[in-house]
């Protein structure tokens, strides 16, 4: 039990110094090796015939429990020598506490198009962490120890249920295929699927089904009853394995007639088809990892009194389940952790002057009886200017309909950098999270042979149409 809790909390503390989600690049028509993770059909009919992703890193974090006061952080203050990195603070108000972390390192990946077909191969290392529905009292117990509980009103009984902490570290290899199965007049419809093989490195989880506090005033007569489950898999390349799938659908209203659909071919002037607007929907990260190497799961109940607590107690100081602090323990040597499955809805409108307006709604599917990270609900709106060698995007996003973030993303040829939480770097508000990502890619706009002279069997030269610049 000690390993489970300490590993989870230490991972949280590490991730809070980092950040990601990349909503500013989510609608780009020039980054299929990134956007096919949001919908497999994004490999279809985009501006890039071949896209090779060299390397990229992105991290995202958001929570309402741990923060740094704005006086301690800020890019501008740091450059002036006016900010100091102090101890994190804890916001212990009446709101239930939640947080989400997503970090990934994308390695060599690629995508290409052939007529109505799209293909992609992606390799990633990912880490996810969340805590949710944490009550104020449990938050105090985690951060300030039992003295914060015993100082509450004497005779008070406190109940809470369904609280979760999950952390997972894994690698994935994904293969994606999409098809524009209908193209007639100015309408096109496509579907796509991505299958991903998952290799679990580490996982830990705590699920408290019920927590009861009885506060009598005298610390020696205070009681805490717990019931739930906990699991832990020791860090190992082969701790677990699993599989997940992404499913996507797209509708496009095109500017040109697409009845005879041949993007990047001479019949279409060697270019893709532009759309007036497109709508897409996807189910992403539907799957799980089964940890069965160096893994253990405990289902337990516990009766803890203040007499069990030493001074300076924290949850990290709990001993292994053989301790008398836990009772009625059931132990198994394997467990499943489910992926952060989500529904993703997107829309994009083309003003036909290199400007676009976009909207996105993503919602993690809720789980209350199993281990697994849950994505937050995100509503985002963005606008972008997009050309072949330059792209700029600004976004405004709301997390769980509460926390607003402003973002900015820039692409200079093959290099992209951005953040979905720009204000977190300027110390204008307390620091509850941040976001940063970068990507280095190489893409080819023209299909090989397009725009060059060719010879037929009679050695006659034929001029093909040159690809227009984006």
Tell me the per-residue pLDDT of 225-262, one tens digit each, with 9 for 90 and over: 778 899 999 888 889 999 999 999 999 999 999 998 88
Measure the CA–CA gap between 105 and 414, rounded to whole angstroms. Answer: 17
DSSP3 helix / strand / coil % (the chain, rounded to 5): 10, 50, 35
> Per-residue b/e over 56-89, b at no fewer than 16 CB within 10 Å?
bbbbbbbbbbbbbebebbbeebeeeeebeeeebe
Is 263 contained in some domain?
yes
- Across 143-186, where does the E strand assignment appear? 156-184
Query: For strand 461-462 and strand 295-305, is the pairing parallel, antiparallel, or unpaired?
Result: unpaired
Q: pLDDT at position 9, please? A: 40
Cα 272 → chain centroid: 30
Is 52 contained in some domain?
yes
User: What residues make up the domain containing 441?
Assistant: 2-338+416-462
In sequence order, what are the beta bridge partners of 87?
none
Count up the domains in the chain and report the number: 1
Measure the CA–CA gap between 18 and 15, rounded to whole angstroms. Answer: 5
Q: pLDDT at position 59, please? A: 84
Question: In this structure, are residues 37 and 25 in contact, taking their beta carbons and an 8 Å threshold?
Answer: no
Closest CA to 196 of 109, 100, 295, 115: 109
Is 467 contained in some domain?
no
Q: pLDDT at position 272, please? A: 83
Burial class (CB in 10 A: 0-12, 13-18, 19+), 401: exposed
Measure the CA–CA gap between 447 and 417, rounded to whole angstroms. Answer: 27
Is 331 contained in some domain?
yes
Q: The whole model's pTM is what?
A: 0.82
Is 357 contained in some domain?
no
Is 352 contained in some domain?
no
Task: With a cut of 50, list the residues of the chain below it in pLDDT.
Answer: 1-20, 309-323, 453-470
- Across 413-459, where does the E strand assignment appear? 415-419, 435-444, 454-455
Q: pLDDT at position 315, please? A: 41
Measure the CA–CA gap between 62 and 212, rounded to whole angstroms. Answer: 28
* Residue 12 parent element (H or E): helix 2-15
Q: pLDDT at position 146, please? A: 60
Is 363 contained in some domain?
no
Measure the CA–CA gap between 309 and 318, rounded to whole angstroms. Answer: 9
Q: pLDDT at position 311, please? A: 43
Q: pLDDT at position 12, please? A: 42
Q: Where are the alpha helices (DSSP H) in 17-155?
A: 32-35, 75-80, 136-143, 147-150
Measure the CA–CA gap between 230 and 8, rounded to whole angstroms. Answer: 11
Is 395 contained in some domain?
no
Measure the CA–CA gap between 253 and 238, rounded to whole angstroms. Answer: 46
> What values do phi and psi take at 219, rounded to 5?
-50, -30
Closest CA to 47 of 271, 209, 240: 271
Spatial CB neighbours of 407, under 8 Å, sequence gap ≥ 6: 23, 24, 382, 393, 394, 395, 396, 397, 418, 419, 420, 421, 422, 435
Q: pLDDT at position 32, please? A: 92
Q: pLDDT at position 151, please? A: 59
Closest CA to 120 of 180, 52, 57, 54: 52
Measure the CA–CA gap between 42 and 25, rounded to whole angstroms. Answer: 12
Q: pLDDT at position 95, please? A: 82
Tell how many helices (H) and how many strands (E) occur in the chain: 5, 23
Q: pLDDT at position 109, please? A: 93
Positive/negative CA dihedral, 85, 89, 95, 101: positive
């Amino acid at each position: 039990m000690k390993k489970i809790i300490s590993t989870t909390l230490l991972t949280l503390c590490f991730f809070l110094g980092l950040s990601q989600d990349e909503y500013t690049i989510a609608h780009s028509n020039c980054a299929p090796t990134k956007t096919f993770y949001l919908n497999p059909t994004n490999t279809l009919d985009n501006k890039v015939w071949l896209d090779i992703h060299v390397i990229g890193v992105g991290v995202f974090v958001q929570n309402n429990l741990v923060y740094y006061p704005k006086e301690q952080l800020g890019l501008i203050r740091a450059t002036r020598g006016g900010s100091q990195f102090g101890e994190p603070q804890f916001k212990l108000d009446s709101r239930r506490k939640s947080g989400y972390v997503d970090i990934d390192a994308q390695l060599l990946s690629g995508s290409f198009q052939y007529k109505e077909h799209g293909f992609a191969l992606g390799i990633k290392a990912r880490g996810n962490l969340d805590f949710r529905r944490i009550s104020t009292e449990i938050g105090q117990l985690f951060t300030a120890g039992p003295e914060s509980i015993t100082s509450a009103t004497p005779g008070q009984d406190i109940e809470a249920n369904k609280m979760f902490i999950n952390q997972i570290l894994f690698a994935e290899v994904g293969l994606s295929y999409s098809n524009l199965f209908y193209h007639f007049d100015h309408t096109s419809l496509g579907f796509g699927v991505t299958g991903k093989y998952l290799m679990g490195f580490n996982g830990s989880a705590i699920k408290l089904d019920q927590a009861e506090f009885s506060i009598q005033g005298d610390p020696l007569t205070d009681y805490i009853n717990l019931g739930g489950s906990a699991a832990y898999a020791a860090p190992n390349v082969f701790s677990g394995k699993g599989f997940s799938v992404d499913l996507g659908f797209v509708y496009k209203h095109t500017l040109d007639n697409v009845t005879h659909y041949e993007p990047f071919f001479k019949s279409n002037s060697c270019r893709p088809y532009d759309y007036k607007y497109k709508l897409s929907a996807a189910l992403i990260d539907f799957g799980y990892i089964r940890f069965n190497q160096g893994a253990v799961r405990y289902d337990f109940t516990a009766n803890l009194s203040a007499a069990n607590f030493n001074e300076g107690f924290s949850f990290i100081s709990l001993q292994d389940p053989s301790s008398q602090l836990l009772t009625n323990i059931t132990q198994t040597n394997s467990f499943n952790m489910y992926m952060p499955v989500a529904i993703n809805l997107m829309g994009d409108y083309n003003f036909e002057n290199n400007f676009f307006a976009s909207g996105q709604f993503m919602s993690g599917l809720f789980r209350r009886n199993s281990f697994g990270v849950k994505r937050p609900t995100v509503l985002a709106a963005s606008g972008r200017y997009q050309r072949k060698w330059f792209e700029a995007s600004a976004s405004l996003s709301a997390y769980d309909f509460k926390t607003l973030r402003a973002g900015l993303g820039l692409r200079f040829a093959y290099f992209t950098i951005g953040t979905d939480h720009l204000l977190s770097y300027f110390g204008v508000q307390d620091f509850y999270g941040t976001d940063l990502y970068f990507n280095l890619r190489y893409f080819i706009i023209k299909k090989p042979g397009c725009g060059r002279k060719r010879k037929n069997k009679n050695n006659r030269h034929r001029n093909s149409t040159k690809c227009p610049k984006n």
